[in-house]
Structure 1
Amino acid sequence: MSPTSGSNQAGRVIALVADVMAAILGLWILMYLLDANGANDFVQFIHDAARWLAGWSHDLFTFDEQWARVVCGYGLAAVVYLFVGHAIAGRIGKH
């Protein structure tokens, strides 16, 4: 196993984790916009995970419409995780 293949594998894992984090956030946005049943265990799990992941960007924006705050706050977190995760993965893969 060459050092490059280990770096590539680590990069793939980091990219996958970033993708999963962004997918959870995106799924919550979709569930919110489609008015998913908040009493459902799966919906609650996704909401809790998304709220934790977007803790730093939740309610960052103060739009009058709640849906706009959800889309922008959680969407920003998803984009940041994708960008940073894939940037780190690319950087690791080059070494």
Structure 2
Amino acid sequence: MSRRYGGSPAETVISIIVDIVILILWIALYLFDANTANTANSTVSWIHDTANLLSGWSRNLFTIQSDNWRTVVNYGLPAAVYLLIGHAVADRVNRT
């Protein structure tokens, strides 16, 4: 597990849940054509930048022609991995 998720188990689970929500939110904003080019829309820009940070290890792992599918895969894969990590942490917390 990464140092990013250090701290108490509850903090770790909450951090992972937030990461998943940000990634899924960015996928939804992209698919619904949120205006990311407008610099005045700082919320969408922040979500996009954070999703890029969280998915940096998996971006462009697959070459897909469709922009929509490429976004779903590039940001959905890390969301699924973080979900699995969250389940593992929660299971470990339940055992203690």
Higher relative contact order (CA 8 A, sep 6+): 1
Higher Cα Rg, which structure: 1
Matches within 5 A, 1:63-74: 63-74=64-75
CA distance in structure 1 between the partners assigned to 2:33 and 2:42 by the alignment = 15
CA distance in structure 2 between the partners assigned to 1:87 and 1:55 by the alignment = 22
Structure 1: gaps of 5 or more residues = 1-9
Q: Identity percentage over the alignment? A: 44
Aligned to 2:95: 94
What RMSD over aligned residues (CA atoms) do the two structures have, in Å?
1.2
CA distance in structure 2 between the partners assigned to 1:74 and 1:87 by the alignment = 20
Aligned to 1:7: none
Q: Greater shift after overlay, 17-26 or 78-87?
A: 78-87
TM-score, normalised with respect to structure 2: 0.83
Candidates 18, 21, 37, aligned match of 2:19: 21
Secondary structure class of the residue paired with 2:90 = helix
User: Which 4+ stretches in 1 moved above 3 angstroms?
Assistant: none
Structure 1 or 2: more helix by fraction: 1
CA distance in structure 2 between the partners assigned to 1:68 and 1:85 by the alignment = 25
May I ask how many residue pairs the two structures share in their alignment?
A: 86
